[in-house]
Structure 1
Amino acid sequence: MAQYLALIHQDEQSLGDTYAGETLAPDHGAFIAANQSALAGGLALEPSHTATCIRPKGDGSFFVGDGPFVETKEQLVGYYVIEAANLDEAIAIAQQIPMDYGGVEVRPVRVLS
């Protein structure tokens, strides 16, 4: 079985005071129960304003700053690790991830040897 990372992106600004996933928590619970055998992990992330960005300066030192790595309308809010026979099977599982808007990016996990 190959592993695929399903990255969940949503526009945090449109959530207002509701944290991403709070309103969909029961739906995610149902998704996890229905796909338990294909899930190797997954977590929700705190809002992007809690992120810390680390970038090399090129001289051996680093810039450490607040906020997400890049500015974008939709932020990474969570992920699932899916174990599937192929990309088509991973996509079929990822399409079941609860979301009101935003999207899911599915990427194969590279095995380093």
Structure 2
Amino acid sequence: MSEYAILIYEDPTYYAALSPEGWAAVVEAHNTFTARVVEHGGRITGGSALAPVTTATTIRADSVTGGPFVESREVLLGYYIVDALDHGHAIELAKLCPATGGGVELRPLHDPSAAQL
């Protein structure tokens, strides 16, 4: 099995005015996703939601600034780390990930024992 990061990029304004029922639906969608990963032969080994992008600090060389470096409508709001059989299987799992306010990016984790990046 290989490890992949499923990076969830969404528009944070989607969540800004979400009702309690809307939040419950989001939580349920992620609970369903985690169950479906296992049903599809994968395994979640980590993941988390991230604090709002307004809490970000960007560091470039000696320069430290508040907020995100890139201005974008969609920002990284959370991630999962999954074990998948291969890249095709990882794509199948990533397609299951809820991202109503945007989309997901799939990236293999770097294996330091393998060749260079």
After TM superposition, the score normalised by the length of structure 2 is 0.81
Letter aligned with residue 66 of structure 2: D
Shift of 1:17: 3.2
Identity rate, percent: 39
Q: State the shift of 1:68 in Å.
A: 1.1
Q: 1:46 aligns with which of 45, 51, 54?
A: 51
**TM-superposed deviation, 1:24:** 0.6
Deviation readout 1:26-61 (Å, 9 max, x if unpaired): 1101211232451111100111011111110xxxxx
More helix by share: 2
Number of equivalences: 107
1:110 partner amino acid: H
TM-score, with normalisation over the residues of structure 1?
A: 0.84
- Residue 30 in structure 1 maps to residue 32 in structure 2: yes
Alignment root-mean-square deviation, CA: 1.9
* Structure 2: runs of 5 or more not aligned: none
CA–CA separation in structure 2 for the residues paired with 1:65 and 1:10:
22
Within 1, Cα distance between the matches of 2:52 and 2:101?
Answer: 16
List gaps (5 residues or longer) in structure 1: 57-61
Shift of 1:91: 0.7
Contact 1:9 1:102 in 2 (8 A): yes
Which residue in 2 is equivalent to 1:59? none
Alpha-carbon distance in 2 for matches of 1:42, 1:24: 16
